[in-house]
């Protein structure tokens, strides 16, 4: 048979429940959460991002007969020495200026010859210097065309370019151009030279030997 509780007993039970410490609920074990990613003591399986490629070591492909000239832009890279690394422009006198090394002759040398020259100069200041020379911009290998042509001006020579090819790149001859009296001006070892070119003959396949390969610095004059 169910036991009937006295009113006083019920009141006592309620008072006992209210007097229980609130910390008792905190003693109830809770679900253990896994440590956050990257937290101390937790394994981190993420990989660091790859380092970007060093743009200072990249350059233009150059012709096999290329030599450095005035206005060319070069990248000089010293391995493990950022203070001496940077881009330089060849001055009109053919020199470049590098930190600590001052002026060094660059014009007339190949990039590899310049590299050896810089390494030799740097060896007086740095133990076993490791130098790379790259070509950023070639401004010295230009030929020029002027006169009765569609687009006169300088044109870069990246390989071999003949007179006919230059005229084509420059947009062709104008209507009133003298096709038989074209002249090529060249400075060879300080001595001026001239070459005659007959566009009318070469365009018909005659006397094609006059369609010479141009050299950097040549000027084609279209009267």
Q: What is the pLDDT of residue 144?
A: 96
**Element at 201 (helix H, strand E):** helix 199-203
Instruction: Classify 182 as helix, strand or coil.
Output: strand
Question: What is the pLDDT averaged over residues 90-119?
Answer: 93
Tell me how far apart the alpha carbons of residues 74 and 89 are, in angstroms, rounded to a whole number: 6
Positive/negative CA dihedral, 142, 101, 132, 85: negative
pLDDT, one tens digit per residue, over 9-52 is: 545 554 445 545 544 444 444 444 544 444 444 444 444 333 33
Predicted local confidence at residue 55, as pLDDT:
38
Burial 184-202 (b: 16+ CB within 10 A, else e): bebeeeeeeeeeebbbeeb
pLDDT at 85 over 50: yes
Q: Each residue of 128-175: pLDDT tens digit?
A: 899 999 999 888 889 999 999 999 999 988 678 999 999 999 999 999
Q: Determine the pLDDT at residue 9.
A: 52
Is the full-model pTM beyond 0.85? no
Q: How far is CA 60 from the centre of its chain?
A: 8
The whole-number pLDDT of residue 157 equals 84
Q: What is the pLDDT of residue 21?
A: 52
- Name 142's Cβ contacts closer than 8 Å, sequence gap at least 6: 154, 155, 156, 157, 216, 217
Residue 101 has pLDDT above 60, yes or no: yes
Residue 220 burial by CB count (10 A; 0-12/13-18/19+): exposed, middle or buried? buried
Other CB atoms closer than 10 Å to residue 222's CB: what's the count?
Answer: 21
- Tell me the pLDDT tens digit for each residue of 185-218: 998 877 899 999 999 999 999 999 999 999 988 9
């Amino acid at each position: 048979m169910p036991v009937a509780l006295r009113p006083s007993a019920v009141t006592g039970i309620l008072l006992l429940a209210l007097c229980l410490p609130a910390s008792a609920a905190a003693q109830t074990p809770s679900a253990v959460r896994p440590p956050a990613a990257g937290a101390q003591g937790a394994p981190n399986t993420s990989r660091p991002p790859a380092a970007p490629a060093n743009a200072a070591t990249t350059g233009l492909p150059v012709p096999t007969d290329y030599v450095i000239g005035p206005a060319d832009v070069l990248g000089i890279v010293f391995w493990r020495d950022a203070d001496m690394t940077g881009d330089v422009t060849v001055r009109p006198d053919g020199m470049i200026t590098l930190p600590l090394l001052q002026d060094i002759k660059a014009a007339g040398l190949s990039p590899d010859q310049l590299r050896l020259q810089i390494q030799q100069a740097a060896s007086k200041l740095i133990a076993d210097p490791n130098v790379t020379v790259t070509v950023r911009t070639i401004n010295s290998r230009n030929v020029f065309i002027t006169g009765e042509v569609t687009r006169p001006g300088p044109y870069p020579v990246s390989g071999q370019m003949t007179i006919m090819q230059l005229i084509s790149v420059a947009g062709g001859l104008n209507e009133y151009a003298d096709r038989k009296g074209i002249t090529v001006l060249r400075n060879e070892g300080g001595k001026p030279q001239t070459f005659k070119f007959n566009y009318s003959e070469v365009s018909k396949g005659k006397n094609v030997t006059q369609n010479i390969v141009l050299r950097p610095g040549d000027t084609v004059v279209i009267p």
